[in-house]
Amino acid sequence: MLYLDTDNVALDRDSMNVPYVGPLHVAAGDAATPPWKLPHERKYLMSFVGSTRGTPDNVLLRTALRAMCERDDACATARPRKTAENLMLKWESTFCLEPGGYSETRKSAVDSMMMGCVPIFFQTAAQYDEVYMFHWENWKES
């Protein structure tokens, strides 16, 4: 039996990390150009979509990021749960801040990648290598 998990590093050969499923689905044979390949002007240097909840360490970071973004016109913030608005904000941002919440991986990071926004992680890279291996492709080595 194979066990799938979204957050923990695979502990044995019967377990595998998989990323969260995002709201955007592009089929291989789809004639439409995926959003991350469409050229457009990005209004914001960075954005943070999320609440200030999470583990104690992550709450401190998320609170600081939200406060920083609210003081700077180059950064935009949004609360979670408004999927269409959040995706549009990621579409309009060059970098998307992705701090951990209750876990280190976030569905928001998948949304960022799908909208062409570069995710900025605040945890060690090793965990992301395994969870996001389907998204990295060859650009990680570039």
- State mean pLDDT over 73-99: 90
Residue 22 pLDDT > 70, yes or no? no
- State mean pLDDT over 52-72: 90
DSSP for the chain reads: --EEESSSPP-STTEEE-PPPPS----TT-SSPPGGGS----SEEEEEES-S-SSHHHHHHHHHHHHHHHH-TTEEEE-TT-HHHHHHHHHTEEEEEE--SSSS--HHHHHHHHTTPEEEE-S-HHHHHHHTHHHHTTGGG-
- pLDDT at residue 45 in the model: 97
Q: Taking all residues of the chain, what is their mean pLDDT, rounded to a whole number?
A: 78
- pLDDT at residue 124 in the model: 66
- pLDDT at residue 68 in the model: 94
Residue 107 pLDDT > 60, yes or no? yes
CA distances from 28 to 35, 38, 56, 103, 108 (A): 14, 16, 41, 31, 22
The CA-to-CA distance between both ends of the chain, in Å, stands at 36
DSSP β-bridge partners for residue 96 = 47, 119
User: What span, in angstroms and rounded, lies between the C-alpha atoms of 86 and 55?
Assistant: 23
pLDDT in tens, 23-46: 666 666 666 777 777 788 999 999
Q: Edge-to-edge strand order for the sheet containing 93-98?
A: 75-78, 44-49, 93-98, 118-121
Residue 142 pLDDT > 90, yes or no? no
Share of the chain above pLDDT 70, in %: 63
